[in-house]
Structure 1
Amino acid sequence: MTPEILKKKIDNLYNQYNRRGYVHPDPLEFLYLYKEIRDREIVGLIASSLAYGRVKQILKSVSFVLDMMNPSPYLFIKKLSYRSICKAFEGFTHRFATGDHLAGLLWGIKSVIAQFGSLNKCFSHGMSPDDDTVIPAMIFFTGQLTAGKSKPGHLVPLPQKGSACKRMNLFLRWMVRKDRVDPGGWKNVPLSKLVIPLDTHMHKISLKLGLTAKKQANMNTALEITSCFKQLVPDDPVKYDFVLTRLGIREDMDIKLICP
């Protein structure tokens, strides 16, 4: 399949399915509930960090956390001490994550906001005009989140270790892009530098479409797939992530829609 034909097919998919009506079930839907960017960026980081495992459990875990933090996750984090945060989520579990891991993430968020003013400002502080992708900024950002006395464990990935960092790239897609699905809100992070959120599902789709031949779903593979999408949409390489990941997830959508 030529790039031109592939782009036409995916564009048709995008125009038809890139709508909020096709989002559920997805942790992205929690971001729609928060108009204030200071709340939405915190919700986005929490929701993406917990976005692994069965989607039903993901939604349950994120909902539990946000119910504890409402009506404003920003004010919740700003007002509470580390001890209070630990107590609030004592007994929380989400697969491998514990209440201590979650408290570590929230304390990291609190520390970053105290130092930089927002998660957005921290991330953009780590960016350079010479960077080809957001990876250097992601290394800086995750370093700041994990620099405190508490540790969020696997909830915050470390890009320098070669992980595809699917959840962090998903968070960036949600916060940087703005269309009918992604709510956006962040500034000073170019769309063109985003990296595809690569998991096993997206990896299988990319293999079938011939976007990669690599067998491991790591950062190198994510960058290769992103490069292919850049040939289709240079200014917005993760534009098609949402609609492509619906294939196989939703019963009414299948890979055969673009690759018979």
Structure 2
Amino acid sequence: MTYVLSTGIEPPAVPALRRLDPRLRIVSAVAFAVTAVALQSLSLLTVMLLVAVMLMIAAKLPVGQTIKRVIAMDSFIIVMIAFLPFTMEGTPIFTLFGFPASYEGLIRAIEIALTANAVVMAMLALAGSMEEVTFGQALHRLKVPAKLVHLLLFTIRYIEVLRQEYRRLRQAMKCRGFRPGTNGHTYRSFGYLVGMMLIRAMERSERIMDAMKCRGFTGTLPMTQRFELRGFDVVFALGFSVFMTAMLMKEYLL
């Protein structure tokens, strides 16, 4: 007789967007990025940004973590966006410290900001919410070169190991009284840190390769996951294709 222990708590439902075929999600993310980059109209880019936000809501991504990732991307391009109005020729609209800001430069800065945020949000919603192994196997089913897929899977698997190794080395430096500053000793110390990281990474990779060969590794990883397009996938693909085509036609034909 089999007894089933019930806790009375139902597992959380998987969002509909995450139930899509992983291959379709990757293709849709690439198509969205290509379409957003091809657009120049601010109104159309605003629509793309709103659609990206809707995708994020549909994927039910963690709000705090997602905002941090978007802010990290914005902080990377904020300097370029801030200086673009002052470095692009055009109709001056205001002057700051004697430097004129052009209307064309301001429009281009807004265009870049809208495009970058829309693409990043869509990528996080469509591809970033997938399991790493599923992402790699979906790439393999999309005929991405096997070496690139293997490199991706190994990187995902061992990047945390390298991070822990870095933290141990930094902790060892702190225990020896190291305090970073703007001097030659600090630069040499960080250089030694990078060198030790590379040496330990090479040694670990050799041990991992030997262990994998002992287990019969022949240079290929088994890709066991099977993907199948269902009715919901087809409906999403058709709707997404119509929307992307409409955006491009509105930009270039109408």
TM-score (norm 2): 0.25
TM-score (norm 1): 0.24
Of the two, which has the highest radius of gyration?
2
Higher helix share: 2
Greater RCO, CA 8 A, separation 6+: 2
